[in-house]
Amino acid sequence: MEYIIVVILGILFAAFLYWAHLPDYKMNPKEFWKTLIGMPIGLFLGFIGFGALNEAIRKWAVEKKKSNKND
């Protein structure tokens, strides 16, 4: 019985990721994966008291590429 519940929750989670985040993925796939990976890790690190690592991961996930002023 527990197996069925876990499978159903997994399917619902996958459906949520697909429909809720598909527009973000289409805009910028690289930033999407960084956010998807970095957010839970950053939240966990902040929760256990590693604020500096949390900030480093946040900056990595949302870094902006510097544009060339000559373009």
What does the H/E/C string look like for 14-35? HHHHHHHHHHHHHHCHHHHHHH
Report domain extents, the chain.
25-66
Q: How far apart are CA 7 and CA 39, in angstroms?
A: 24
Q: What is the pLDDT of residue 67?
A: 54
In the prediction, which pLDDT does 31 show?
76
Q: Does residue 45 contact residue 57 with C-beta atoms inside 8 Å?
A: yes
At residue 64, the pLDDT reads 66
Please give the model's pTM, rounded to 2 decimal places: 0.47
Is pLDDT above 80 for 13? Answer: yes
pLDDT of 22 higher than 80: no
